[in-house]
Structure 1
Amino acid sequence: MTKDDKNLQQVLDKIAGMDEPARRVMQRMHEVIVAAAPELKPRIWYGMPGYALSASSPVLVFFRHDERMSLGVSEKAAFTPAGGEDGLLMPAAWYFEELDDVTEKRVAEIVRAAIG
């Protein structure tokens, strides 16, 4: 078993240990992320699933489940200012309670933008 395989199993185990309905939503979030960027390697990052270009490179995107579920982009991701009303702000975190088609599409866009 490779390091990538072990890391993936740790991520899947972390998700499997979550209570419903978070488990179902987080499993789908994992699937959306790996489908959007199959080159990303899952691993546990600060106790939650994170995704990087390799087992030893910085995590670019991650998701959490504490009191709420969230998707985040780490400081190592490719950032560009939002522009418009947000000016130079760079979006880096989004809360969600459920995933629908529109949200999944946006997550995939965020993930692809994070890897540059």
Structure 2
Amino acid sequence: MAGTKKKSYDGFTEAERGAMKDRAKELKSKEDPAAAQAAKIAEMADADRVIAERLNELIPQVAPELTPKLYYGMAGWARKGKVVCFFQDAGKFKTPYGTFGFNPPVVLDDGDFWPTAYALLNLTPDVEKQIVALVKKAIS
């Protein structure tokens, strides 16, 4: 069929392509990482914003060597420029919950099978204790 343009599918959703564009901008940005992260958190829906703001208070208290940084348009905390942990708000990929996750080379191994991200609906004192323990393990 001459003249007919074939539509291709690249395997990425619009949200995923948006995250990749966010990452490209982050790599080129001269903006202060903490300010960029604060601006991204301010854009979140209320419930996720409250969680992200609390994580941004909590993580530096337990891991002062981790600094705020954007990571594919998400709030992240990095050591020596490498993102150790991040919060993916529910709106990022239109999921029913946010997630708190970790990146390699962080090792949270527990045998042959372990989580690298956790669904996060509410940041209760008990959940905060669990996050603190995971972050401490991640940076040890």
Q: Shorter-chain-normalised TM-score: which range? A: 0.7 to 0.9
Counterpart residue number, 1:69: 98
Please give the alpha-carbon distance, in whole angstroms, between the structure 2 residues aligned to 1:45 and 1:39.
17
Please show how residues 1-116 of structure 1 align to structure 2 within 5 Å: 6-54=32-80, 57-66=81-90, 67=95, 68-77=97-106, 79-82=107-110, 87-116=111-140
Do the aligned partners of 2:108 and 2:116 also contact (CA within 8 Å) in 1? no
Higher relative contact order (CA 8 A, sep 6+): 1
TM (normalized to structure 1)?
A: 0.82
Distance (Å, rounded) in 2 between the aligned partners of 1:34 and 1:104: 13
Structure 1 unaligned runs (5+)? none
TM (norm. structure 2) is: 0.69
Q: Aligned residue for 2:6?
A: none
Structure 2 unaligned spans of 5+: 1-28
Which amino acid is the alignment partner of residue 36 of structure 2? Q
Deviation at 1:13, TM superposition (A): 0.9
Q: Is the 8 A contact 2:99 2:120 kept in 1?
A: yes
* Higher-Rg member (1/2): 2
Moved over 6 A (4+): none
Q: Give % identity.
A: 29
Q: What is the alpha-carbon distance in structure 2 between the residues aligned to residue 93 and residue 26 of structure 1?
A: 15
Q: Aligned-residue CA RMSD in angstroms?
A: 1.7
